[in-house]
Amino acid sequence: MKRLLNLFTILFFIHCNSPQVTEPFQDIPDTYPTLQKVLSNPETYQVQILFSTIHHGESGTLSFVDFPFNLNDERYFYPASTVKLPVAVLALEWLEAQGIAGLSAESIMLTDSVRPSQFPALVDSTAANLMPSIAHYVKKILLVSDNDAYNRLYELLGQEYINEQLRTKGLMHTVINHRLSLPMSEEENRHYNPIRFYAENGELLHNVPARHTNTVYANAGNPTIGRAYFQKGTLVDEPMDFTYKNKFALSDLHGVVKRIVFPEAFSTEEQFQISEETRQFVLRYMGMLPGESDFPSYELPDYYDSYSKFFKFGTDKSPMPKHIRILNKTGWAYGHLLDGAYFVDFKEGVEFLVSAIIYVNENETLNDDTYEYETIGLPFFAELGDYLYQRQLNFTKTNKSHLNSLKGLFVLE
């Protein structure tokens, strides 16, 4: 009987002190009016959230407790720039798999063109040596979500490599099949530019010929969005077809971030096959602020701290606290706003994972530049991030040794 009472006491203590048993998306305080509004109208805003608490055991074990809200991997939404994150990491994985002496992420990468729809990339004015490279493209993607940088890595890898590699890692609800901000047909997006890699002394290290993917990567069910859309200035009075657009389910976005930050939580097959040095490089630039980068250089007022940090800081253009880092990837297009993030406060010992998608397009017309990004979208992310942060402040803080391993990646003062 005494043992049963002791067990009851332990369970009661856990119940009262653990975030695992507290449903986070009920009874939102009135101090978060936009968050309340969105969560009360999940269908209107097509909102999905996946929030994970992180638990480090004394013996080095790692576990997560996931809290989904309205999560549906089958429901289509446009993922915008979030697809750049897996492509950036896969490019680094591809590079290391080549095993070519002298070939590195810093090697000069020259992209040629062999079709009328393609564009070459032979210089990069934002690089210290004025030359493109995989490393420089990854930096531009993670710092400011550069479209051209993504396109170059997409052209390097091709649809088949990208999609098959993601599936082998257990990311089963993703289709990546096009460049961004380039009006190409489905067929043209299956053709990839020839690429050459050079050493600084001009030595040719590797030659990647022009390639073509025969497999058609399309979204099941022929998804559509909206009731009308503009195309070349003309209103088309029907929903827009997204059959041949990218798809990146929220659980897969969340899973990519989790695999980068906590690879030990996954089997070897499900991890990104990159060295620890490369992983540290990715982590550093996922959490770096635009103004902290020398090459490429991004300056105020256009590139403020929260330029690509929606959670907690999405509506605030003032400097972010240095001790808070958000390792993430955002996206916005066609009325969709997305962010997948690992949030960490080194000072308070707080960490959590959160990914979310919201659709803010009241008139259901695409490409008219009339979206509620500023009035609903960004306030939603700011309130959600702050709400979860304040929530986690009230619970037992994370393992300091884990945070210490990340501290060296950032300037915290």
Domain ranges of the chain: 24-407
In this model, does residue 4 exceed pLDDT 80? no
Q: Which residue has the higher pLDDT, 403 or 6?
A: 403
pLDDT range class, residue 399, cuts 50, 70, 90: low
pLDDT range class, residue 395, cuts 50, 70, 90: confident
CATH code, 24-407: 3.40.710.10
Q: Is the dihedral of CA 70, 263, 79, 283 positive or negative?
A: positive
pLDDT of residue 139: 98
Distance CA 250, CA 148 (A): 24
pLDDT of residue 57: 83
Q: Which residues does residue 328 pair with via DSSP β-bridges, in sequence order?
A: 341
pLDDT of residue 60: 77
In this model, does residue 2 exceed pLDDT 80? no
Q: What is the pLDDT of residues 224-254, one digit of tens each?
A: 999 999 999 999 999 999 999 999 999 999 9
Number of C-beta neighbours around residue 173 at 10 A: 17
H/E segment holding residue 204: strand 204-208
In this model, does residue 142 exceed pLDDT 70? yes
Maximum Cα interatomic distance, the chain, rounded to a whole number of Å: 81
In this model, does residue 6 exceed pLDDT 50? no
**Tokens 């990004």 -> residue:** 373
Q: What is the pLDDT of residues 181-207, one digit of tens each?
A: 999 999 999 999 999 999 999 999 999
How many angstroms separate the Cα of 121 from the Cα of each of 126, 131, 149, 253? 13, 9, 10, 29
pLDDT of residue 61: 86
Q: Which residue has the higher pLDDT, 184 or 401?
A: 184
Distance CA 94, CA 187 (A): 24
**Peptide bond before 79: cis, by omega within 30 degrees of 0?**
no
When pLDDT is averaged across residues 311-320 and rounded to a whole number, the result is: 95
**Tokens 């062999």 -> residue:** 114
When pLDDT is averaged across residues 17-40 and rounded to a whole number, the result is: 84
**Closest alpha carbon to 68 in 254, 246, 248, 263:** 254
Number of C-beta neighbours around residue 363 at 10 A: 13
Buried b (16+ CB within 10 A) or exposed e, 331-347: bbbbbbbbbbbbbbbbe
Residues 6+ apart with CB under 8 A from 339: 82, 310, 311, 328, 329, 330, 331, 354, 355, 356, 381
Q: What is the pLDDT of residues 270-280, one digit of tens each?
A: 999 999 999 99
Cβ–Cβ < 8 Å for 273, 90: no
In this model, does residue 14 exceed pLDDT 70? no
Q: Is 345 helix (H, G, I), strand (E, B) or coil?
A: strand
Cβ–Cβ < 8 Å for 102, 203: yes
How many angstroms separate the Cα of 91 from the Cα of each of 49, 137, 257, 349? 28, 10, 16, 33
Distance CA 4, CA 262 (A): 36
pLDDT of residue 9: 36
**Tokens 């256009």 -> residue:** 302
Q: What is the pLDDT of residues 40-95, one digit of tens each?
A: 999 999 999 999 999 988 777 899 999 999 999 999 999 999 999 999 999 999 99
Length of the chain: 413
When pLDDT is averaged across residues 25-37 and rounded to a whole number, the result is: 97
In this model, does residue 7 exceed pLDDT 80? no
When pLDDT is averaged across residues 335-348 and rounded to a whole number, the result is: 97
Average pLDDT of the residues of the chain: 93
Q: Is 254 helix (H, G, I), strand (E, B) or coil?
A: helix
pLDDT of residue 58: 79
Two structure tokens written together for 206: 């590797």
Residues 6+ apart with CB under 8 A from 82: 248, 253, 329, 330, 331, 338, 339, 340
Distance CA 289, CA 348 (A): 20
**Closest alpha carbon to 373 in 342, 328, 330, 327:** 330
Helices (H), 264-408: 276-287, 378-393, 400-407
